[in-house]
Amino acid sequence: MNSGRLYIVSTPIGNLEDITLRALATLKEVDFIAAEDTRHSLKLLNYYNISKPLISYWSEKEKIRAEQIIERLKAGQSCALISDAGTPGISDPGAVLIRMAIEEGISLIPVPGASALIAALSISGLSAQEFIFLGFLPSKPSERQKKLKELAFETRTIIFYEAPHRIIETLSDILHILGDRKAAVVKEITKLHEDISRGKISEILDVLNNMKIAGEFVIVLSGGEARNISIDEALCEVRLIMKKGLGRKEAVKMIAEQYGLSKKELYDRSLEQ
């Protein structure tokens, strides 16, 4: 018997009407649906009168449930993989099952849809020519600050997700480490209380400190300014980054890649100093 197909189906990130016709057709046609949280997914499925067998794969159960789903796929059944919002595996559970399906030679079919990071970028007013998405920053302050230091010379637009209980702390770290850059912070995107704050980080912090903090946030941050520097100037940058806590190799790699310099030459020169 031929293996069934695994459909990676994007679901709404807030507004239940932000779902494609193809996604609805897929959810109606598959043999069963693998959901991050069946209770949450039932709201969407009931809204569109879709009734299918459900299996949850949340958190600690993800690996065990993934194995069970693979067995059903190998038996010829088809499955739609969905998360609570957005696309499975993109800052959401689902990657374990996807990797396992690839290893087993099972066909994966993407069914794209709403994306919080793209929606936020589209209304940010910041450059969308080149950008990087980093998902959620580390929750521990020291790890989060280390990650931000690594982005000191990133010139592309940077996009993060952040939880409500850490948004003020994260923006404060960004201000302290990366400076008072332009940004857009979107709250509850596509939901009833959607709100966007644009401006310098300091200005956005003033706004957030005077409003009720609730819901998930997307931070769209402008990149640093690109400039050409000499090897001596680059060495100064390396020393500054090392003083902030990064190791020599990390600092050299970051600066060399940022300015198109030789990593070996920069590293050797930094040892001489």
What is the reported pLDDT for 160? Answer: 96
The answer on 139 and 46 residing in a single domain is no
Q: What is the pLDDT of residues 12-59, one digit of tens each?
A: 999 999 999 999 999 999 999 999 999 999 999 999 999 999 999 877
Q: How confident is the model at residue 144 (pLDDT cuts 50, 70, 90)?
A: very high
The answer on 265 and 196 residing in a single domain is no
What is the reported pLDDT for 152? Answer: 84
Full domain range(s) for residue 263: 231-272
What is the number of alpha carbons within 13 Å of residue 242 lying toward its C-beta? 16
What is the reported pLDDT for 32? Answer: 97
Closest CA to 91 of 156, 143, 161, 158: 161
What is the reported pLDDT for 236? Answer: 83
- Give φ, ψ of 161 to 5 degrees: -105, 150
- Residue 203 belongs to domain with CATH number: 3.30.950.10
The answer on 134 and 150 residing in a single domain is yes
What is the reported pLDDT for 166? Answer: 95
What is the reported pLDDT for 218? Answer: 97
What is the reported pLDDT for 221? Answer: 98
- Residue 36 belongs to domain with CATH number: 3.40.1010.10
Checking if the pLDDT of 76 tops 60, the result is yes
Identity of the residue numbered 235: L
What is the reported pLDDT for 258? Answer: 74
Q: Domain ends where: 74, 96, 114?
A: 114
The answer on 123 and 106 residing in a single domain is no
Q: What is the total count of domains within the chain?
A: 3
Q: How confident is the model at residue 118 (pLDDT cuts 50, 70, 90)?
A: very high
Average pLDDT over residues 131-156: 92
| β-sheet bridge partners, residue 56 | 35
The answer on 248 and 196 residing in a single domain is no
Average pLDDT over residues 193-208: 96
Q: What is the pLDDT of residues 209-265, one digit of tens each?
A: 988 888 899 999 999 876 667 788 888 888 888 887 888 888 888 888 777 788 888
Helix, strand or coil, per DSSP, at residue 159: strand
Would the pTM of this model clear 0.85, i.e. be above it?
Answer: no
Checking if the pLDDT of 91 tops 70, the result is yes
Helix axes 141-150, 167-178, angle to 10 degrees: 40
